[in-house]
Amino acid sequence: MATDSTPTETPQVSSDSAFDDDDWDLIIEPHSSLLSLQLGEVWRYRDLLYLFTRRDIVSFYKQTILGPIWFFIQPIFTTLVYVLVFGKIAGLSTDGLPQILFYLCGITFWNYFSECFNKTATVFKDNAPLFGKVYFPRIISPLSIVISNLLRFAIQFSLFLVIFVWYWAKGEIHPNSMVMLFPIIVFTMAAMGLGFGMLFSAMTTKYRDMVFLLTFGVQLLMYATPVIYPFSQMPESVAKYLAWNPLAPLFEATRYGFLGAGNFTSLGIIYSVIFAVVLFLFSTVIFNRVERTFMDTV
The residue ranges of every structural domain in the chain are 37-57+67-296
The whole-number pLDDT of residue 19 equals 47
The whole-number pLDDT of residue 165 equals 94
How long is the chain?
Answer: 298
Secondary structure class of 97 (helix, strand, coil): coil
Q: Could you give phi then psi for residue 6, rounded to 5 degrees?
A: -65, 120
User: H/E/C letters for each residue in 230-294?
Assistant: CHHHCCHHHHHHHCCCCCHHHHHHHHHHHHCCCCCCHHHHHHHHHHHHHHHHHHHHHHHHHCCCH
Residue 225: name the closest of 209, 249, 257, 204 by CA. Answer: 249
183-224, pLDDT tens digit by residue? Answer: 999 999 999 999 998 888 887 777 766 777 887 888 889 999
The whole-number pLDDT of residue 24 equals 62
Q: Could you give phi then psi for residue 12, rounded to 5 degrees?
A: -100, 135
The whole-number pLDDT of residue 15 equals 46
The whole-number pLDDT of residue 66 equals 67
The whole-number pLDDT of residue 71 equals 78
Q: CB-based contacts of 86: which residues, under 8 Å, 6+ apart?
A: 92, 103, 228, 229
Given a cut of 70, the residues of the chain with pLDDT beneath it are 1-39, 63-67, 132, 208-209, 292-298
CA distances for 171 relative to 107, 165, 179, 207, 255, angstroms: 23, 10, 17, 52, 16
Q: b/e string for 215-244 if b means 16 or more Cβ within 10 A?
A: eeebeebbeebbbbbbbeebeeeeeeeebe
The whole-number pLDDT of residue 298 equals 54
